[in-house]
Every structure is written in structure tokens, then in C-alpha cells.
Structure 1
Amino acid sequence: MQQSAVPELARADTRPIHWVATATAVAGVIALSSLVQPGPATAAQPTHATEARPAPAPTATTPPGTTGVTFPLDCGPVEAVVAHQADGDLDGDGKPETVAVVHCDAAMGTPPDAVYVLTRSTGDGRPRIVATLVQPTDRLTVTDLGLSARTVTATLLGYSSDDVPSCCPDVRKPAAWRWNGHAFLRSTPADTRGV
């Protein structure tokens, strides 16, 4: 007869008293575990409506586009084209404006630029021109258009006299425009120089 390595397991005969003892032990463990409760939770609790919450981020507003805008340029048989544009909030109302450099799409020469500020109409939201920063009659070409800290900046290329051909501007002037609450005021830094 072969003997088991573990003598306690060699006996396979169980009596009902063994089952009663096992059931009593399991019931005792369950009863004891219901008496022992975990400590209070230390995780962050959800915010209640009465507590202060940070203000939601402002909703971004789309700047007005230039498509479909009738610019006040007399271009004859050719169309007005937008050469450059920049977007940003110029008047501090939280809604962006668009600054557009526009000229006639001439086949030859260097047509003069105009610079317009567009905003959205309060009624239908369509773009509309609210200011003219550079007139086409000024005979200027506008480069380096930018918008920063509610200020429009650009470099204006012009002519020292009417004898200078329109292909070859010989004066370069930096310019800046800032809204003062009533109008855009232009400032010209002192470093105006020839091209």
C-alpha cells in the first residue's frame, strides 16, 4: 500500500460535521469583514454648483473674410484683389477684425495699394469695411503687413517725386495704426529712408 506524502490529505472521508464547521468559518469571515470599514476617501470630490469655478474660455470668433466684399476701388475692367491680410482684435471688444491690402489686378505696372479694416455687421454677420488706412490715391505699395498688440504695422513703399516711375518706388516708410476709441491714428517711426 502506497502512503501519501501528506498524511492529512490521505483521508478522503468527510462527515457532515466538517461541512458545518467550514460553513460556520466562512460565515464568520463575512460577518467580520462587514464590521471592518475602510477610512474616509481622500480623492478630490466633484465640485458643487455653489463653489467658485474658473470662467470658461471665451469662444473664438471667426474673423471676417474678404470674399464677396466690394472694395471702393475704381479698377475699370479688372477686378480688385487682396494681396495681403492679417486678423486680430483691434478695438478690444473680443471680436477679431481683418486688415486687407487690396489693389487692382493690373496686367502691367505696379498698381497702388489700399488698406481697409473689415469687421462683421451686427445684424447679419457679413463683412463690412469700417476704416481705410491707406488710400489708393496715396500711390503706395504696402508690404510687411502685420498685427500685434492691437496695432497694425506695415512698410509703405512710395515715391520721392512724380518723376519716379511707378515700377520703382524709392522711398520706404514704416507705419503703424492704432485704434483710439474713435479712429485709427497713424504713427510713423523716425527711420524713414530711401530704397
Structure 2
Amino acid sequence: MPHHPAEPEPAHRRARPLHWLATAAAVAAVIAVAGIVQPATGAPAATPPGNTTPAGEDPRTTAPDARAATYPLDCKGSPRAVTESAHGDLDGDGRPETVAAVRCEAGSGTPPHALYVLTRGQDPAAGPRVVATLLDTAQRRTALDLTVRDGTVTATLLGYSSTEVPRCCPDEKRFAKWHWSDGKFRQELTDSAARSV
């Protein structure tokens, strides 16, 4: 039987070091270019004063910024603090409102909260405005766990049974809900008491 020399292996099946080096370089170049063109993930640029809607956002679908509002809360020279906020469409008009828990910053004790409802005006450049007060500081309550769900505002309210109770240590707890009904916000408490604001 005649002896035939082995046929040469096709070039694409032979792995040469130079071939692998070229492939690795090409892959590295693609990864480097992808890293350059990826969008930035850092913090967005600061919003100019007076304009509380970042560029490109629709003010009709963006909730008001609780920290950009001016509140009717007299702190006698002390700064005001927004401790919690929640967002949602409260009156069914398709535009989100913001509920903000605000109190005065004091050096000691536990200053009471006020709960305000904020909305946007017709001018997108204008700051948010207060349209309702759900809880006034005169009620001497601390508001926690503020949420908005399905058009209802909920919060846990801590308070004091008498003036003898130290202001650091509330001894009463109530769960409160507010919802928009017949042109006003109506409050419901766990003890079934209710009032309109």
C-alpha cells in the first residue's frame, strides 16, 4: 500500500501564539472602548435655585422636593428640619404630591412635628407650595413611619398623656391615616376619632 504523507492541518485549526495574542489585544480594546462610552453613575448636577425639577423631567409626574419648600412653621430663629417625606397622588388628579414631616431643630428635648402636603404650582420654576396641614405642632406629636399608599397618608404619632410626662419620653402611640374626601383631608385615628383638616 503506498504511503501518503499526512495532509497539512488547515490553518484555522492550528493555534499559534501570535494568533492568540492578536485576539486578546482585540478583546481588550473592545472592553476599553465600552468602559469609555458607558454613562456616568455619579451624583447628578445640583439643581439651580428655584428650579426643583431636574432637566428632562416632567414636573407633572415628579413629586415636589420637601427640602425646597417654605413652611409656615415658627421656630423662633432655630432652623427647620424635614425628618421624613413620602410621595403619591393624594387627590386623584394624576400628579404626585409630597407629604413632609417638619419640626424645629432644638438643642434638647423632642420638638413636635407638623405634617404638610406640598404640590407644584403652574410655574415649573417655582418652588413647591404648602396646600394643607395634616398635623400641627400644637398637637405635640412626633410623627414616624410616614408613608403614602393608594392615596392614603399613614403615620405613627407619639405623644404625651399629660404635661407631667417628660418631653423626651412619649407615653402614647396612635396610628393615623389621612385621605382626600369631598375636597378636604380627613383624619382617622386608631381610637376611631376623626376630624377634617
TM-score computed with the length of structure 1 as normaliser:
0.65
Corresponding letter in the other structure for 2:152: T
The answer (yes or no) to whether the contact 2:89–2:97 under 8 Å persists in 1 is yes
> What is the Cα-based RMSD across aligned positions, in Å?
2.1
What is the CA–CA distance in structure 2 between the aligned matches of 1:157 and 1:59, rounded to whole Å?
Answer: 34
Cα distance per residue 1:148-175 (max 9 Å; x no partner): 1100000100111111111111000000
Cα distance per residue 1:115-170 (max 9 Å; x no partner): 00000012345300000000011100001111111000001001111111111110
Question: Which of the two has higher C-alpha Rg?
Answer: 1
1:94 positional shift: 0.6
What is the CA–CA distance in structure 1 between the aligned matches of 2:122 and 2:151, rounded to whole Å?
Answer: 21
What is the CA–CA distance in structure 2 between the aligned matches of 1:71 and 1:97, rounded to whole Å?
Answer: 15
- Where 2:67 maps in the other structure, the secondary structure is coil
Matched, 1:117 2:114: no
The answer (yes or no) to whether the contact 1:142–1:155 under 8 Å persists in 2 is yes
Corresponding letter in the other structure for 2:143: V
Structure 1 segments (4+ residues) deviating >6 Å = none
Task: Determine what percentage of the aligned residue pairs are the same residue.
Answer: 49
Corresponding letter in the other structure for 1:169: P
TM-score computed with the length of structure 2 as normaliser:
0.64
* Residue number in structure 1 paired with 2:136: 135
Within-5 A mapping of 1:150-189 = 150-189=151-190
* Residue number in structure 2 paired with 1:98: 98
Corresponding letter in the other structure for 2:80: A
The answer (yes or no) to whether the contact 2:155–2:175 under 8 Å persists in 1 is yes
The answer (yes or no) to whether the contact 2:68–2:127 under 8 Å persists in 1 is no
1:188 positional shift: 1.0
The answer (yes or no) to whether the contact 2:159–2:173 under 8 Å persists in 1 is yes
| Residues 93/166 of structure 1: CA separation in 2 closer, same or farther (3 Å cut) | same
The answer (yes or no) to whether the contact 1:174–1:191 under 8 Å persists in 2 is no
What is the CA–CA distance in structure 1 between the aligned matches of 2:136 and 2:191, rounded to whole Å?
Answer: 22
* Residue number in structure 1 paired with 2:47: none
Matched, 1:81 2:81: yes
- Where 2:134 maps in the other structure, the secondary structure is strand
| Residues 182/191 of structure 1: CA separation in 2 closer, same or farther (3 Å cut) | closer
What is the CA–CA distance in structure 2 between the aligned matches of 1:167 and 1:59, rounded to whole Å?
Answer: 40
* Residue number in structure 2 paired with 1:64: 64
Count of aligned pairs between the two proteins: 135
The answer (yes or no) to whether the contact 2:78–2:105 under 8 Å persists in 1 is yes
What is the CA–CA distance in structure 2 between the aligned matches of 1:92 and 1:130, rounded to whole Å?
Answer: 15
1:107 positional shift: 1.5
Corresponding letter in the other structure for 1:156: L
